[in-house]
Structure 1
């Protein structure tokens, strides 16, 4: 097998020496320092010593923050070393507290790359080497911030190809071998996708333009613009006040116009953010160290490449948010070991929010079968609906008691109690929606369970990956003859529930959900058979 040549900073040798990160980072930090000082310099030049000059102190703080960040990066570059041997990837870093991390090369499960705008302008990449850790990012992974794009690409190829590590560690003793093929050709061959599962469709922006974050974005950016323009002497309040006769319009019309303006601004902001985050998105199946990888590439200003080892994928989850279910909107993620599920970068998400038809098609490609999504799920007993109606009524009654107490103490007018009366039918409707979302099935090697009100999630888990079964019942469930079955696996969020099953069939369902897990505990129930699950009427 041919071995492509690597740059000196990325190629392991028989006795590798410690390498530095790219020196370009110093120049990038210098540019960052200058740019962070520009707003403060402009503000000082424009405002000068006028009475409002004190408002520029936040800009000065921004400049100081940028300078300190650049100094910190320079110190990190000075004290950081890494090396790649035939058996390990090692990193030494830290100024006051020295940290030495190492990952065995045969345990590497992912080599991801990321580049913020400042990295891309400097031709740099951040390389993150993971060994399937579930801890928070940075506690176990090795992150090299930053290498040149060529070094990063070559290092990723080297680490994800065990044959190259063997070739690097064992020099050939056959001098008459034919010359190696062109390294660039070999590198392109390994990075060529085996199959492209999805690419960004511009129409998906419709599914991402409206949520609660639209208002947070609009208010945050609006306040920032108001403060910045005010510090430069611009009378924003006077400008807005002169747009219309707000007193004659009244507070209702004024509030409606303000809400409309914030909504439009937030929707536009979310649309722009969607394209910036998912520009050039591609989900593909590529070659990996021990099989294949699910690889996503995306980003306009900050580019990210995340690889997920398909050997470690234990299932998929398709979630449909309640408010946008009428649009057929869904989120798609994989249930896999070795990814931090609580990371803000959501590495388990393999598709942007989009059509549920696309989500199920991609989930089918990942699973290798369409049976889990083509099979009708068994409905849950009517007692499950009664339980939800009971909780909806209790919640509405609790709100009514709180409003009554506030009215009696004079905090709120008595007419506010009617809000609880209006809330009750809404709560009952939500209970019905939550009940209709329930469903479960055993489909070949997979357990399928569906539940959720705010987000109806259909979860497909490999039965062979289930390590623990938990059957539980609350006091109310016991009175209604219900039980919940939870399966635990070393992947994803760890536990996935099938709530409110009939108590008479929950044990048989649990036995089938995890073959062999409950066998040692069934001696007292010799009549329990895995096939004895009573199927309720099917519901799509």
Structure 2
């Protein structure tokens, strides 16, 4: 069919074309075949429409062999297209790049340099999971269409290819693009031994050979289910259902139909969340945090620890009694989290306090996160910069709980009204600091300080500070960020920080 492939080129599993979209075409062919059988039986038994206007059914009854041959040709055509697609789709691991070729008539050649690879993950959609296959996704620097899909391989081959690509990317010195990572991208205390185990303090003691390390996070399905239900939108939907039942009792069944659509959207969203995050486990593996989750579609992804730019921990109002927190991150060059806007950047939808604090320590590698954990437990300390009393006009409910703490190695921003939000940004990850004022805030002598990190769901913002405090905090942040880039550890502040007005 073609010339022998060049050395190093490998093909995917023969079922790959069907799993990539051929199953839909196969279902159409199956439907046509079933219709043909029905029409043939109708034509032979005389129970069809018959006559010159009988259409396809009459023609099939008069010429059954031709009809069977036509369907056979269609099936053979589908098989031939799938076989050609499989034959001409190949990948190769070159000296410095991974290459992928596709297409029969119009050839497409893609490649990604190992030094630009940001993340490698594996996914198993339901149908692929049933036949033991998996897809390897390679994300590299270069925009939204920078990922490469290698589908499909058997599970063992996919896991081996993922590990091989991660090793090649690490040896090639792959670092996230953009500013804000040069000073902290690789800490000298983060060491990887020849056996591939992380010897940094964040990684903890190595596991015995042949056994996986203990999970940092292991989320029971009961917690996932309870956290999915204990939300404010559940309260809203409950109120709508009660109102719908009341309106239906007063005005009849027609009045209830207006509440059906929001109820269906709510149920679909909650079921999707359960299917996405079920069986979540996270483990430290070398310099990465390996995550596996999914009930129907099993996804295995890795978070490169040295590329974490910011961490945000959120505790909604209804989660305070069980003390659960969701954890979101910004990672340079990599999109993580769910597909919805609400879950963008989320890596753990509901962690216990112990898991959240442990995960914060892992994500911050060798940095001291004690101030951030203290803010999670007790709120802002006296040395933090808080909001002045004039901020109550803009934020009457939470102005006392807002503020920013400038710790030795990280900036900690506390915010939230109904939900507690703690954002942690290492000094070396800050790209820039902005101070902004709206017209009303200017009249009240207030200003906001925004810490610009890499693009992501976490957007650190200290709101409603006194204008003079905001300027001093921003200057101190810039100084510490520059100092962190230039040296391993920031020195003490050059001047006393404001304590809030």
**1:209 counterpart = 2:229:** yes
Contact 1:111–1:156, Cα closer than 8 Å, also in 2: yes
Q: Partners of 2:170 and 2:439 in 1: how far apart?
A: 60
CA contact (8 A) 1:282 1:298 kept: yes
One of 146, 150, 153 as aligned partner of 2:156:
150
1:348 and 2:345 aligned: yes
How far is the alpha carbon of 1:213 from its aligned partner? 7.5
Q: Unpaired segments of 5 or more residues in structure 2?
A: 39-46, 49-74, 173-194, 196-206, 239-244, 484-492
**Separation in structure 1 between the aligned mates of residue 391 and residue 131 of structure 2, nearest angstrom:** 59
Instruction: Give the CA deviation at 1:460.
Output: 0.3
| Residues 309-340 of structure 1: per-residue CA shift (max 9 Å, x gap) | 10111231012345665664532112221212
Equivalent position of 1:286 in the other structure: 285
| Partner SS, residue 196 of structure 1 | coil
Q: 2:98 aligns with which of 61, 69, 89?
A: 89
Aligned length: 398
Which residue in the other structure is 1:113 paired with? 122
Whole-angstrom distance in 2 between the partners of 1:464 and 1:294 = 21
Q: Structure 1 CA distance, aligned partners of 2:34 and 2:400?
A: 60
Q: How far is 1:88 from its partner?
A: 1.3
Tell me what 1:392 maps to. none
Determine whether 1:481 maps to 2:445: yes
TM-score by length of 2: 0.65
Which residues of structure 1 form unaligned runs of 5+? Answer: 1-12, 50-66, 167-180, 182-187, 219-243, 389-430, 520-528
Q: 1:255 to 1:440 in 2, by over 3 A?
A: farther
**361, 364, 375: which one pairs with 1:364?**
361
Residues 252-280 of structure 1: per-residue CA shift (max 9 Å, x gap): 899689969986x8887666544432232
Alignment partners' CA distance in 2, 1:326 and 1:41: 59
d(CA) in 2 for partners of 1:165 and 1:436?
A: 48
1:145 Cα deviation after fit:
1.6
464-473 vs 452-461, greater mean Cα deviation:
452-461
Q: Find the residue that maps to 1:86 and give its secondary structure.
A: coil
> For residues 374-413 of structure 1, what are the structure 2 equivalents within 5 Å?
374-375=374-375, 376-377=379-380, 378=384, 379-386=386-393, 388=394
C-alpha contact 1:315 1:336 (8 A) present in aligned 2? yes
SS in 1 for 2:216: strand
SS state at 1:363 partner:
helix
Indicate the larger mover: 337-346 or 446-455.
Answer: 337-346
CA separation of 1:443 and 1:70: change in aligned 2, threshold 3 A:
farther
Query: Structure 1 residue 454: deviation in Å?
Result: 6.6
Mapped contact 1:511–1:530 kept (Cα < 8 A) = no
1:135 maps onto 2:143 in alignment: yes
SS of the residue corresponding to residue 276 of structure 1 reads helix
Alpha carbons of 1:164 and 1:277: their partners in 2 closer, same or farther (altered >3 Å)? closer
Name which of 12, 29, 53 aligns with 1:21.
12
C-alpha deviation, 1:17, in angstroms: 3.5
Taking the aligned partners of 1:40 and 1:352, their CA distance within structure 2 comes to 45
Q: Deviations over 1:221-251 (max 9, x none)?
A: xxxxxxxxxxxxxxxxxxxxxxx9x98x423
User: For residue 373 of structure 1, what is the aligned residue in structure 2?
Assistant: 373
Distance 1:26 1:473, change over 3 A: closer
Which residue does the alignment assign to 1:251? 251
Deviation, 1:22, is 1.7
Equivalent position of 1:6 in the other structure:
none
1-structure distance, mates of 2:259, 2:155:
45
Q: Which residue of 1 aligns with 2:432?
A: 468
Contact 2:12 2:86 in 1 (8 A): yes
- CA displacement at 1:458 relative to structure 2: 1.5
Distance 1:96 1:261, change over 3 A: closer
Kindly indicate whether the alpha-carbon contact (under 8 Å) linking 2:219 and 2:350 is maintained by their aligned counterparts in 1. no
> TM-score normalised to the size of structure 1?
0.61
State the SS of the aligned residue for 1:505.
helix
Residues of 2 paired with 1:18 and 1:510: CA distance? 53
TM-aligned CA deviation for residue 485 of structure 1: 1.4
Do 2:413 and 2:462's aligned partners in 1 also have CA atoms closer than 8 Å? yes
- 1:332 matched to which residue of 2? 327
Question: 1:135, 1:340 within 8 Å by CA — same for their partners in 2?
Answer: no
Q: Any conservation in 1 of the 2:117–2:169 contact (CA below 8 Å)?
A: no
Q: CA deviation at 1:130?
A: 2.4
* Aligned CA distance change for structure 1 residues 84 and 454 (closer, same or farther; 3 Å): farther
- 2:299 aligns to what SS in structure 1? strand
- Greater alpha carbon shift after TM alignment, 327-336 vs 32-41: 32-41
Q: Where does 1:58-207 land on structure 2 (aligned, <5 Å)?
A: 77=86, 79-94=88-103, 98-131=107-140, 133=141, 135-136=143-144, 139-162=145-168, 193-204=212-223, 205-207=225-227
Q: What secondary structure, in the 3-state scheme, does the structure 2 residue paired with 1:332 have?
A: strand
